[in-house]
Structure 1
């Protein structure tokens, strides 16, 4: 019996960002080609647009066709689902999102990110009801779910137990503002690294990036897939940070400049 090898992917949030033009994207690159370029420089992108508006099956198919084999998107769930005061009432929003055409991404569909408001406090009954609403499949493909909680009240074994029971990952957040919860509760790890600095060419120092890589390799050695996103902080540095993280495995990647 062959054991599936764990995969480490790294990337950025979105691909449309004006300061990247001329820094990450070559001067003169048409905006319509930015996804094609970015998806060959990193191995995953976290889609932000799905948080703000419903996409169409044709849009998901277009993204699928513009990106190379082996590339994976994570998709941020809509704010209509995660910003409700009572999460248990999010059913209709969750169902609309699940039916919006996610399955068109095919093998390029990675985790779904559920990002909760910083003001949302942990309510065990409400969170359990919400987790029960999460779709299991899209287009016949099993779905993975990552939970980004932003209030200190979630730093409790009760939440960790709920996430593990649902098979959902708790986002590992390197942040000045949000709690760091390190427990593994799924068959993958979802990292959002948010302390990039403008005075560092790669956002984080080479030593810091190497430390993140070693941490990811440790999780992979335990059989977990790992998704690493350099996001927020000095966002203009995010592509360089992701490329530096990936450098040992992508020797022919695009370079900023």
Structure 2
């Protein structure tokens, strides 16, 4: 049996989408409700910029249908400012800030690193080893939170499940088989990040799932993917979800990934301007034969 495929967008609050992807006159408070009926997953970005609240996560969970999944972006305070050093309290704050309120809609956690952060095994291995593999383990980390979260934390998981983690890197020093080996050792996914910037674009499989971020084919965060480009990504996803590797995969390590009968795939479009992200996401869904809603006179129906 093939793995599950989750396709969506990175974020959902974008002015150009109003009156286009979102029907004219749709209240901003209903945008997530609408978007979550078009896609089966969305990447939650607000958690990257600041600690959210349990009430926010609870509202987002309530607005989305059964089976919907959020990918949650780890805090930039951990990855960009502390750069993983002395981050115990910050990790506690992140996991105590309300993620558990998503219940069974909590999907993979994305850890994105800045372009000026290179590969230091002595820093990365302890981080990868410390990542919680279950919500129960995450709850123990949440106990490390500091006083800033007093009165606004959620320490008890609403749904007990295993957790998945993915890492997106943007420095050439990570193009190293040793880094791929580390990711495989701790079953953390290498993020397949497509971007026109000189950031690493490779497709090594390092976990029991694949995580993709499509930032734009020719212009960062803006350019549309052509049908031909989406054909290639659809072929990759089809191979990955069947536990195979694409024949033309761009690889850092020549060692084969761990064998699998299937793998889940999470794919998020981050080319947000001018409607490219939702349009491209829906087109890719069509190519993969996933259920799709349709637009009639500016309104969306099943």
Q: Same fold (TM over 0.5)?
A: yes
Q: For the structure 1 residues 150 and 197, does the alpha-carbon distance in structure 2 shift closer, same or farther, using more than 3 Å as the test?
A: closer
Structure 2 Cα separation of the partners of residues 95 and 243 of structure 1: 36
Structure 2 Cα separation of the partners of residues 254 and 170 of structure 1: 35
Q: Between 225-234 and 214-223, report the one with greater CA deviation.
A: 225-234
Q: Gaps (5+ residues) in structure 2?
A: 136-156, 244-261
Aligned with residue 88 of structure 2, among 88, 91, 95: 91
- TM-score relative to the length of structure 2: 0.78
- Indicate if the aligned counterparts of 2:195 and 2:214 stay in contact, CA closer than 8 A: yes
Q: For the structure 1 residues 169 and 24, does the alpha-carbon distance in structure 2 shift closer, same or farther, using more than 3 Å as the test?
A: same
Aligned residue for 1:87, secondary structure, equals: coil
Q: Between 242-251 and 221-230, report the one with greater CA deviation.
A: 242-251
- Indicate if the aligned counterparts of 1:195 and 1:204 stay in contact, CA closer than 8 A: yes
Aligned with residue 249 of structure 1, among 265, 282, 290: 290
Q: Which residue of 1 aligns with 2:185?
A: 165
- TM-score relative to the length of structure 1: 0.91
- Indicate if the aligned counterparts of 2:80 and 2:114 stay in contact, CA closer than 8 A: yes
Any runs of at least 4 consecutive aligned residues in structure 1 with deviations exceeding 6 A, and if so which? none
Considering only CA atoms, is the larger Rg found in Structure 1 or Structure 2?
A: 2
Q: Which residue of 1 aligns with 2:118?
A: 121
Q: For the structure 1 residues 27 and 113, does the alpha-carbon distance in structure 2 shift closer, same or farther, using more than 3 Å as the test?
A: same
1:9-28 equivalent positions in 2, closer than 5 A: 9-28=6-25
Q: Which residue of 2 aligns with 1:229?
A: 268
Structure 2 Cα separation of the partners of residues 59 and 73 of structure 1: 13
Q: Between 58-67 and 228-237, report the one with greater CA deviation.
A: 228-237
Q: For the structure 1 residues 254 and 197, does the alpha-carbon distance in structure 2 shift closer, same or farther, using more than 3 Å as the test?
A: farther
The size of the alignment, in residue pairs, is 252
